[in-house]
Structure 1
Amino acid sequence: MRITEHRGNDDLLTAGLGLEGLRAMTPPAFIEATAPTSVELRRRALWANWRGIADLTPGGGYGSLYGSTHAVPGREFSALATVPGAQQPHRVLVQVPDAFDLKRRCVVVAAASGSRGVYGAIAVASAWGLPKGCAVAHTDKGAGTDYFDLDSGQGVRLDGTVGPAADGLAFAPQAPAGATGIAFKHAHSGDNPEADWGHHVKQAAQFALNSLDTAFPQAAPFTFDNTRVIAVGISNGGGAVLRAAEMEGDWLDGVVAGEPNVLVEGHGSRALYDYTTEAALLMPCALLHPALAPLPQPPLQAQVAPLWAAQCAALGKAGLLDGTDTAALAASAYQRLHDVGWTDDALRAGALSAGFDLWRSVAVTYASAYTRAPLGEMPCGYGFSALDAAGKPRAATAAERAAWWSDASGIPPGAGVFAVPPAGSSPMADLQCLRALWTNSNEALAAKLHAGVAQTRAGFPRAGLPVVVVHGTSDGLIPVAFSSAPYVAGAKAAGRDVRFWQVRNAQHFDGFLGLPDYGARYVPLLPYVYQALDRLQAHLDGNGPLPADAVIPTVPRGAGNPLEARHLAMPAQ
């Protein structure tokens, strides 16, 4: 266990940056680029994870209308934990505020969103729990930013600094002789971490109790019987806390899941890999259909539109769409997505993921995880590497390695690391290969992928556990129709106490609401997650019922307008 103190200009919530420091367009600098200190790395990781999750722009409402970035002094306890049967550990980290309320023992346990590192839920869980005197437990749920440089044989220590494999790293892969490039835990652990998300969350909660025993020995023991435990997460973190909700035992008191990536049996539920590879193939072309105009304007829109038209043509040539010109092909792609449940709202918001080629990035990483592919044997021949000016793989520099842990989001591209297709392949062939792993269930590797996905299927919460699910109806990355809606329907049919807030005009990425057209069209989801936590806590205190199901009729703020309470239309008590 590693214990650090965070007070003065290095607090728990923002590492001393405050709201203005988090808003800065450039990350906190390292004094020595090739050898940053653990303090510098932590500060920069907090900066990156806050900005990746929350809309901190002036006028966006954070810190004034909802949320807090006020300094919270305290201690952090961190360690590596391993779930039974796993080859690689996951990070667990507990933040204990100096103002921890010993009379109202409270732990908020959270899993990082996406494949982010251990601070990936800082804006979700810590911003709500720390100011209330709760300890906050985090896990990277077997993913994270513990990249390993195969060329230099170096990875990431517990404190975020770079070192050799002998230093007891957070991730050290089984690498064949002569392996080159970059490995990271989600893709190359040899585990299927998503299958164990619930166990990751429970281990983080148990580590929180152990840490509180150390922090307050005079008040020990801290147990699940005498300490309230609330789980919260968004995106993959939301899926993780729902997996925790199904676990046996009376260890968890309540759950709030925002925009969860969750797969259940029936009710229209679809696997992330299924609709991700489908979107990677068809969505760029479908977005050219006039029914979706005007699209929210992501960066590089002018540059990607011709690429989308070229993808239409390639799909037509491959016989995957009907039509001979771009308009007809776009209509065909649009109709095919509609036929399998994509809504216009989800497609429009998905323009951001299509513009950034995010669908391919997700598919490459998850294909490797689901099949437990060894290094050098990733599906469809992919690998990961730094690139030179000509786009060719090269060895990473010391400065690049030093910043991976703080700067990366857990899935390349980012922080100077890129997914590299096999030599001589084409973008369309690569996408078809990734898609075939889902559609060709008779092929051996596809069957292995299907088996991996089946291991991630969720059950429903244990009886009596209060659960609130919050999801934006415009989510274009994890469409509500494929995830939350089937989960809630199945849970209710099983007699479970699950409440459901569907938020109109909310998409997946609050962090992108700083883009003017996205901020004008969409409301943030975080205010509803915080409010759901408030309502859940009040219910557990005996001060009110759980929130009723609601479809929340939000009002987009429009261009140039600050977010106001009336735009959020928060449900009444």
Structure 2
Amino acid sequence: MNLTPVRIAVAGAALALAACAAQPPRTAKESAPVFSQLRTTEHRGGDDLLSGGLGLAGLRAPTPPAFADAERPTPIELRRRALWSNWRGIADLAPGGGYGELYGRVVPVPGREFSAYATVPGASQPHRVLVQVPDAFDAGKRCVVVAASSGSRGIYGSIAVAGAWGLPKGCAVAYTDKGAGTDYVDLDAGQGVRADGTGGARGDGLAFEPATDATSGVAFKHAHSKDNPEADWGRHVKQAAQFALQSLDAAFPDAAPFTFGNTRVIAVGISNGGGAVLRAAELDGDWLDAVVAGEPNVFVEGARPLYDYTTQAALLMPCALLHLQDLPQPPLAAQSVPLWTQRCAALKAAGVIEGGDTASQARSAYEAMKATGWTDEALRAGALSVGFDLWRAVAAAYASAYGRYGFGEMPCGNRYSALGTDFAPRAATAAERAAWWSDASGIPPGAGVHIVEPNPTAPLTTLQCLRALWAGEGADALRVKRGIAETHAGLPREGVPVMVIHGTDDGLIPPAFSSAPYVRRAQSAGRDVRYWQVRNAQHFDAFLGLPDYGARYVPLLPYVYEALDRVSAHLDGAGSLPTDAVIETTPRGAGKALRASDLGMPR
């Protein structure tokens, strides 16, 4: 990989925004953002754009690509490992799951990467933007796929979604970490992450510089930037698209300028990335040709915001699950039932639920969740999030983000650190710190960073505190709820086709709380929004490699790819957009390989 820096010309002149050839000319103009820490790298031979040379077999390997020096990995090593981590965090690559045979492909795609920091107006911290330009890019049929990372993942967090679809087709693919990502800062060592993923001292061009003088713990951008990045998701996506045009100007100067008027732009994302592209669709300016959003975290009138149902689930779901039979495994019953039984007793003692025994307490918690819109399907799939402590992780970090708290200010007294064998906070090792950028998911616990609670022996106290930031009053609650209100989504712009795809069994972002009310509101306002509801699909394709999940659930990615195919054909004038559909599927069962007929793909 060639790390020679390239100066990408920053367009000081206005960008002419115009629609693709089949639509009326775009006339709106605006100034391009200023990008910093500009870099370009070349990826050919054994180091391609899509998998860093790993291919499908390498991505399926159970252990990540090793660093030659664990404490000082090179940018090449960090990038390859980040690709491995992000592919495996999103897609079901396990044999029998269908990837590479029934849908999707991992092929060598040589080309260049352009990367930078970008900052939305009013933000104190930048977000990362990255553009992959394949050598096979067709300047005669200009296309950009722009994507936002799912969850809080780093800049490669949508490689399995946007990159896997767009790069083999010769499209440039633009990414944003949307103000989150894995640019962790180790305050004990005074070290953060530079533009190339390597560690550097504070003040040395880091991607995140927390506003704190603290000398202990771990800070990360989503929780500690004080910017409430979710409020700006749409603008993050648009800036990534603008950076794509600048990068294409630099990559193909003889074909410049690349503008929104002569370049097709399709936005795609899943989970938080799905919510981000829906937010982009509402922005003014005729710059976006189509949107595909999978399992989106989106908050509109009539919906429940993520923080509401997350904190409810963190508190009640462990107990409520004892009322259900036939839960997917893991979590293992032998380990979980005693802990969930303790949760029921603690909730009863706190007056949150009723019942004189565990069975009646579990029924009380279950009925409380059902009364607020949870389905049995969402509760069963939500067991995975209980097992991986995801509800608490999301609640703690998002409370800080929504309230715009800095490091050391987090509500309910939470903080983050590496832990020793005695579970006491300790300084991270150099090897742990070096791997955070490539290995972490963007929200601890994970990659050796943990949540440190003020009362670790009384976890219910912290969960009740986090819940009260939504359900209660007080200065902190008002602050958090004000931040949540800033994330309220509007309608997509008229004339932009939007496809929303959601699994009916999603247990992390239930469609009843997110996509369903969004689609109802958009369609009732006359917007061009189509909705696919996929039976037997839950939130995490990556966990379908677990035998019981693979037997029960179908992947969602095939439908996202199919929606992209349909949208692209429609923009080419080669087909109409699909109609709304409830897609009937067939779980493949234990020990069986997924078949094309199991997916029930609409035709």
Same fold per TM (> 0.5)?
yes
CA contact (8 A) 2:47 2:53 kept: yes
Q: 2:163 aligns with which of 126, 129, 134?
A: 126
* Residue 9 (structure 1) aligns with: 46
C-alpha displacement at 1:299, in angstroms?
4.3
Name the CA distance, whole Å, in 2 between partners of 1:117 and 1:374: 20
Aligned to 1:256: 292
d(CA) in 2 for partners of 1:208 and 1:306?
52
2:337 corresponds in structure 1 to 305
Partners of 2:107 and 2:499 in 1: how far apart?
Answer: 27
**Distance in 2, Cα, partners of 1:298 & 1:224:** 47
Distance in 1 between residues matched to 2:86 and 2:348, nearest whole Å: 40
- Tell me the equivalent position of 2:209: 172
Change (3 A) 1:424 1:99: closer
Quick check: 2:64–2:85 contact (8 Å CA) kept in 1? Answer: yes
User: What is the correspondence of 1:38-49 to structure 2 with a 5 Å cutoff?
Assistant: 38-49=75-86
Partner of 2:481: 450
Partner of 2:404: 372
Cα deviation, residue 423, structure 1: 4.5
SS in 2 for 1:3: strand
Structure 1, residues 24-78: CA drift from partner, whole Å, max 9, x if none?
Answer: 1100000000000000000000000000000000000000100010110000000
Aligned to 1:61: 98
**Which of 263, 270, 274 does residue 304 from structure 2 map onto?**
270
- Of 217, 235, 249, the residue aligned with 1:213 is 249
1:489 maps to 2:489 = no
- Tell me which of 428, 431, 446 is aligned to 1:414: 446
Give, in whole Å, the separation in 1 of the partners of 2:546 and 2:114.
Answer: 36
Contact 1:147–1:185 (Cα < 8 Å) also in 2: yes
What percent of counterpart residues are identical? Answer: 74
* 1:554 aligned residue (564, 577, 585): 585
Amino acid at match of 1:364: A
Q: Structure 1: how far apart are the matches of 2:200 and 2:337?
A: 43
Alignment counterpart, residue 551 of structure 2, candidates 511, 520, 542: 520
2:331–2:383 Cα contact (<8 Å) kept = no
Does the CA-based 8 Å contact 2:190-2:215 persist in structure 1? no
Q: Structure 1 residue 237 and structure 2 residue 268: aligned? A: no
> What amino acid is the match of 1:461?
P
Deviations 1:109-138 (A, max 9, x none): 000000000000000000000001000000
Asked if the contact 1:473/1:504 (under 8 Å) is kept, the reply is: yes
Match of 2:572 in 1: 541
Of 485-494 and 370-379, more deviation after overlay is shown by 370-379
Question: How far apart in 1 are the matches of 2:113 and 2:490?
Answer: 33
1:280 aligns with 2:311: no
- Residues in 2 aligned to 1:133 and 1:375: alpha-carbon distance in whole angstroms: 42
Aligned to 1:77: 114
Query: How much does 1:357 deviate?
Result: 1.3
The 2-side partners of 1:424 and 1:76 are apart by 44
Query: Cα distance 1:299–1:342, how it changes in 2: closer, same or farther (>3 A)?
Result: closer
Q: Within 5 Å, give how 1:426-505 maps onto structure 2.
A: 426-440=458-472, 442-505=473-536
Q: CA RMSD in A?
A: 0.8
1:316 — aligned with what? Answer: 348
Q: SS state of the match for residue 502, structure 1?
A: strand
Secondary structure at the aligned position of 1:446 is classed as helix
Specify the alignment match of 1:358 in structure 2.
390
Q: 2: CA distance between counterparts of 1:116 and 1:51? A: 12
- How far apart are the structure 2 equivalents of 1:126 and 1:424? 41
The amino acid across from 2:263 in the alignment is T
> Is it true that 1:228 corresponds to 2:264 in the alignment?
yes
Instruction: Give the drift of 1:303.
Output: 1.2
Quote how far apart the aligned CAs of 1:101 are.
1.0
Read off the aligned partner of 1:396 and give its amino acid letter. A
Amino acid at match of 1:127: A
Find the partner of 1:86 among 123, 128, 132.
123
Cα pair 1:474 1:505 within 8 Å, conserved? yes
Amino acid at match of 1:246: E
Q: Distance in 2 between matches of 1:409 and 1:301?
A: 26
Q: Distance in 2 between matches of 1:188 and 1:544?
A: 46
Distance 2:61 2:595 in 1: 23
Q: Distance in 2 between matches of 1:299 and 1:461?
A: 39
Structure 1 100/301 Cα, relative in aligned 2: closer, same or farther at 3 Å?
Answer: farther
SS in 2 for 1:350: helix
Separation of aligned partners in 1, 2:215 and 2:478: 27
- Alignment check: 8 A CA contact 2:455 2:461 kept: no
Does the CA-based 8 Å contact 2:223-2:406 persist in structure 1? no
After TM superposition, give the deviation of residue 166 of structure 1 in Å: 2.3
Q: Deviations over 1:485-514 (max 9, x none)?
A: 000000011110000000000000000000
Deviations, residues 263-293 of structure 1 (Å, cap 9, x unaligned) = 0012xx000000000001111111000xx31
The separation in 2 between residues aligned to 1:56 and 1:305, in whole angstroms, is 31
Aligned 8 A contact 2:455 2:462 in 1: no
Where 2:545 maps in the other structure, the secondary structure is: coil
Contact 1:301 1:355 in 2 (8 A): no
1:374 CA displacement: 1.9
CA contact (8 A) 1:59 1:562 kept: yes
Query: How many Å apart are 1:179 and its aligned residue?
Result: 3.3
Specify every segment of 5 or more residues in structure 2 that has no aligned partner in the other structure, as ranges: 1-37
Taking a change above 3 Å as real, the CA distance of residues 11 and 286 of structure 1, as seen in their structure-2 partners, is: same
SS in 1 for 2:342: helix
Displacement after TM superposition at 1:302 (Å): 2.1
Q: Does structure 1 retain, via aligned residues, the 8 Å contact 2:586–2:598?
A: yes
User: Any conservation in 2 of the 1:346–1:476 contact (CA below 8 Å)?
Assistant: yes
Work out the CA distance in 2 between the residues paired with 1:301 and 1:481: 28
Equivalent pair of 2:185/2:191 in contact (CA under 8 Å): yes
Structure 1 residue 103, shift from structure 2 partner: 1.1
1:397 and 2:429 matched: yes
Give the secondary structure class of the aligned counterpart of 1:288: helix
Provide TM-score, normalisation by structure 1: 0.98
The one-letter amino acid of 1:182's match is V
Q: Which amino acid in structure 2 is aligned with residue 168 of structure 1?
A: G
2:63 corresponds to: 26
Letter in 1 for 2:307: Y
Give the Å deviation of 1:301: 3.8
